[in-house]
Amino acid sequence: MKERYQAKAIEEKWQRIWAEGRSFHVREDVTRPKYYVLEMFPYPSGRIHMGHVRNYSIGDVVARYKRMRGFNVLHPMGWDAFGLPAENAAIERGVHPQAWTEENIVYMKTQLKRMGLSYDWDREVATCQPEYYRWNQWIFLQFFKKGLAYKKNSFVNWCPSCETVLANEQVVDGACWRCDSAVVQKELEQWFFRITDYAEELLSDLDKLEGWPDKVLIMQRNWIGKSTGAEIDFPLVGHEGALRIFTTRPDTIFGATFVSLAVEHPLAQTLARGTPQQQAVEDFIARIRKISQARRDEEETEKEGVFTGAYCRNPFTGENIPIYLANFVLMEYGTGAVMAVPAHDQRDFEFAKKYRLPIRLVIQPAGHDLTTETLSEAYVDEGVMVESGAFSGLPNTEGKEKIAAFAESKGWGKREIRYRLRDWGVSRQRYWGTPIPIIYCDGCGTVPVPEAQLPVELPKDVPFTGKGGSPLRESKLFSQVACPKCGGAARRETDTMDTFVDSSWYFLRYTSARLPTAPFDVDHAQYWMAVDQYIGGVEHAVLHLLYARFFTKALRDLGLAKVDEPFTNLLTQGMVSKETYRCEDHGWLFPGDLVGSEKEGWRCAECGRPVTIGRVEKMSKSKRNIIDPEDLIGRYGADTARLFTLFAAPPEKDLEWSDQGVEGAYRFLSRLWRLIYQQRNLWAQVPPANGATEQSAELRDLRRTIHRTIKKVSDDIDGRFHFNTAIAAIMELFNGLSAAAQGDSQSRAATDVIKEGTETIIILLAPFVPHIANELWELLGHDDRLDQVSWPTYSEVAIEEEKLLIVVQVNGKVRGKITVPADVTQEYIETNALADPRVIGFIDGKSVRRVVYVPRRLVNVVVEG
Ligand SMILES: [Zn+2]
Ligand SMILES: [Zn+2]
Ligand SMILES: [Zn+2]
């Protein structure tokens, strides 16, 4: 054992002990309260980055803390292992996606183990393994049986030059990421999950999620996008039938001066046929259909349209109004047809101005006198209905319901609730994903793969060219199959599932990760679920969390999961950021590519030019403002890396990288090590203080600080995760103890309090810096392992503020008594003594010559006369 803190040796030792002892393996135990803490599992991209270090350090503190609190803690880890980068590596470098992925998992697992994270590795899952994805297929089949999985036509991004479907993230500014050709929309038949069946429950259950950040709840609400309104028919003029529109503002129907259709609306082309507008309409449809719906829906997208040459009748005004096609109306939402009310809808307003369409004001705000001539933007707020026939004079909020009811009574339409949420398209024309377990037979149609034949495994004989449609189609072995029903020649579905399917139920799989007969054991899942604390990036605030919630509810309805919601509490950690460096000639520079110093200024190592220090931004490969955790851990150790990331900012806030911060964390651990190493022989001779023996006031103060620190650190960790202030309190206590230990009062009494304090610090630090804490515990001669030590409780007596009774004399005679807190200054006591009403009577009008203070006992005021 060395006097100098040696992180590497200590960390390797404890990581070996934990691994060999399977220290964090858990089983269900009904005698103890359970706690399930989970960090979002990583994509095995190759190496961990600082964002991972932060995410997993936070989770590990929670896991270790809860264990010390007596909980039976489930803390698993796995790999979200299907996805595009593996397939790209195959196309670009000829490595098989499986080999690439497995290699990355091995490497990253080693990195995670070097961080000392307390995972139950026996429960590790990788979604690309057939043992896992067979249950994706099984769940798909259950969904199919219940009508929750179905097929329909839908648009995909298509690169005409690469002849391939592109994921949204492969479309950069409307062009193919690989060849830069313009991306078009292509219609394909694809599989969907009917998540919209759960829209109302997904929305209303958000109210139960009190442990989620408000911003995430808001994002989920907006994504589901419930709107209450009406569907109303606008009869066509000169054609059979009517246009059915959906509106959330029936109260403005008297102001509808035209109708806008989506270019995909079934009537879009037929209405223009034979009119002078036919050619213009066909050109417009062809042009707009190439643009993705998401892009058309963006606020910045310029509103444009074309007149169809046709009219319909506003049933409330009886007027004939023109029908336009508009780029911002989407078929996916509502009916693909909207009544346009330019005075009260901003998009319609811009559109009307551009195409010189009439604007009619029908809602007047109280106390105002808006006119269409002076209107510079749409008025979208509340007011009183005007120019609205029998409905004029009503508050518009009432009008909404009245107009909808009137339309319903006339048979013109009905009240309607709509959601922005669409069904979840799960088909991907990719190789590296879960094969969809469906077979197509000319005789029998769509046939599900029998459950006994699962898993449908990914074939190996697939060339990765990056061209064409689904790569699985290239494998004859895979696609040609006998029909399970009639035995005739049939073909397999060659699309694979969206990788979000994999992550929608992995938290359930962890509860019985090795079970070969079902996706998870119902009883085990019931014991562990819901996840008590989920931790991950806010970029997953919408899709992943929504899909996981949907799966949980759908699996509940299949009788498998027993909870309504998967994640009771959610923490979204902030980003890790750092300043950027740029050389005029060499562009963005890595921190390691600088020479010089902060004082002299930094220069480019390549050319010697001074570098421009840029803003503090999220660490990213493109800006090169990254720190490799491997370098950090190699240089200072995992405990320093953990302590720095936990101390530098509260978990939900952004963390700014600081070299000084890292060095500060390392210095603190080194000082702690040195003090205990030096004092250990002295301390071996005494038991830690327990408050039983009489102590001096100074030592009572020190004990009070120790117990107040226990209380503060417990409060800060529990529920609030204020790790930074908890660590600050521990550091402060250490400074106090260190000063006391190095002072001259090395009496037995002082030693026992200092020992109590130091052992407390080791226990309080155990969740944050587990390696050094365990080592120091052992160094102090404890037979038990720190991992098995309970979290300390504070002594109510010790934290109670001590009071002193001070006798106040005037010229040697007792004239009063005051009570003061023990830790106040002499000045405070003297001022209070002189201000005591009984004392004032004896000194009033006389001049005070001096004040004598006998510490903790007496103040004597000497006055003239
Ligand atoms: Zn391309
Ligand atoms: Zn058949
Ligand atoms: Zn340079």
Q: Residue type for 728, please?
A: A
- Contact in structure between 639 and 617 (CB atoms under 8 Å): no
DSSP states of 754-766: HHHHHHHHHHHHT
- From the CA of 612, which ligand is nearest? 3
Whole-number Å distance, alpha carbon 801 to ligand 1 midpoint, is 73
Strand residues in 327-412 grouped as ranges (E): 337-340, 363-364, 384-385
Distance between Cα 636 and ligand 3 center (Å): 29
Ligand nearest to the CA of 176: 1
**Cβ density class 797-836: b for 16+ within 10 Å, e for less:** ebbeeeebebebbbeeeebbebebeeeeeeeebbebbbeb
310 CA from centroid of ligand 1 (Å): 39
Could you tell me the distance, in angstroms and rounded to a whole number, from the CA of residue 607 to the centre of ligand 3?
4
Which helix H or strand E contains 52, and what residues bound it? helix 50-68
Q: How far is the CA of 617 from the centre of ligand 3 (A)?
A: 21
Distance from chain centroid for Cα 632:
25
What is the Cα–Cα distance from 341 to 357, expressed in whole angstroms?
10
Ligand minimally distant from the alpha carbon of residue 441: 2
Say how many Å lie between the CA of residue 443 and the centre of ligand 2: 5
Nearest to 714 by CA among 725, 702, 703: 725
Contact 688, 759 (CB under 8 A): yes
In one letter, which amino acid is 558? L
Q: Which ligand is nearest to the CA of 466?
A: 1
Q: For the chain, first and last CA: distance in Å?
A: 70
Contact, 341 vs 388, CB < 8 A?
A: no
How many angstroms separate the alpha carbon of residue 739 from the centre of ligand 1? 68
Taking alpha carbons only, the member of 340, 392, 322, 320 closest to residue 362 is: 392
Annotate 356-392 with DSSP letters as a single string: T------EE-TT----TTT--S---S--EE-S-GGGT
* Ligand closest to the CA atom of residue 490: 2
Query: 612 C-alpha to center of ligand 3: Å?
Result: 11
The string of DSSP codes covering 699-738 is HHHHHHHHHHHHHHHHHHHTTT--HHHHHHHHHHHHHHHH
Mode of pairing for the β-strands spanning 567-573 and 531-537? parallel
Give backbone dihedrals phi and psi of 536, rounded to 5 degrees, phi first. -175, -175
Any idea how long the chain is?
865
Sign, CA dihedral 468-470-476-480, equals negative
Ligand 3 centroid, distance to 45 Cα (angstroms): 30
Instruction: Identify which of 595, 666, 591, 656 has the alpha carbon closest to the alpha carbon of residue 635.
Output: 666
| Ligand closest to the CA atom of residue 160 | 1
Ligand 1 ion: Cβ-proximal residues, 5 Å cutoff: 159, 161-162, 176, 178-179, 181
Give the number of whichever ligand sits closest to the CA of residue 481.
Answer: 2
- Partner residues linked to 810 by β-bridges: 813, 861
**CA–CA separation, 449 vs 437, rounded Å?**
5
Distance 620 CA to ligand 3 centre (A): 20
Q: 594-611 burial, b for 16+ CB within 10 Å, e for fewer? A: beeeeeeebbbbeeeeeb
Ligand 2 centroid to Cα of residue 489, in Å, is 7
The ligand placed nearest to the CA atom of residue 440 is 2
3-class DSSP state for residue 390?
A: helix
Residue 594 Cα to ligand 3 middle (Å): 9
From the CA of 602, how far away is ligand 3's center (Å)? 11
Tell me how far the alpha carbon of residue 483 lies from the centroid of ligand 2, in angstroms.
5
Residues in the 5 Å CB sphere of ion ligand 3: 583, 585-586, 604, 606-607
Question: What's at 185, amino acid-wise?
Answer: Q
Ligand 2 centroid to 194 CA: how many Å? Answer: 26
| Helix-, strand-, coil-residue percentages of the chain, each rounded to 5 | 40, 20, 40
Dist CA 82 CA 44 (whole Å): 9
Residue 394: its pLDDT value, please?
94
Give Cα 787 distance to the centre of its chain.
29
Cα separation, 834 vs 855, whole angstroms: 16
Residue pair 400/249 in contact (Cβ under 8 Å)? The answer is yes
User: How many A from CA of 446 to the centre of ligand 2?
Assistant: 9
Give me the average pLDDT of each 10-residue run along the chain (865 residues): 89 97 95 97 93 96 96 98 88 90 96 97 97 98 98 87 75 81 87 96 97 96 93 94 94 97 92 92 91 77 92 96 94 86 95 95 88 90 94 94 95 93 90 96 97 95 79 89 96 94 98 97 97 94 94 97 97 91 89 85 89 87 86 96 95 91 96 93 82 75 91 91 96 92 67 91 97 96 90 86 86 90 85 89 87 90 85
Tell me how far the alpha carbon of residue 616 lies from the centroid of ligand 3, in angstroms: 20
The residues near 85 (Cβ < 8 Å, ≥ 6 apart) are 43, 45
d(CA 761, CA 782): 15
Instruction: Give the whole-angstrom CA distance, residue 774 versus residue 639.
Output: 11
Nearest ligand to the CA atom of 587: 3
- Select from 298, 299, 265, 300 the least CA-distant residue to 284: 265
- What is the distance in A from the centroid of ligand 3 to the CA of 593? 9
Ligand 3 center from residue 634 Cα (angstroms): 28
CA–CA distance, 446 with 442 (Å, rounded to integer): 9
Contact 537, 570 (CB under 8 A): no
Spacing, Cα 586 to ligand 3 middle (Å): 4
Ligand 1 centroid distance, CA of 217 (Å): 37
Number of the ligand closest to the Cα of 584: 3
Q: Judge contact between 259 and 243, C-beta under 8 A.
A: yes
Which ligand is nearest to the Cα of residue 585, counting in written order? 3
Gap between the Cα atoms of 167 and 798, Å rounded: 62
Phi, then psi, of 550 in degrees rounded to 5: -60, -45
Q: Which ligand is nearest to the CA of 611?
A: 3
**Ligand 1 geometric centre to CA of 68 (Å):** 55
- Is the separation of the CB atoms in 133 and 434 below 8 Å? yes
SS3 809: strand
User: Which ranges of 69-124 would DSSP assign to H, the alpha helix?
Assistant: 84-93, 97-113
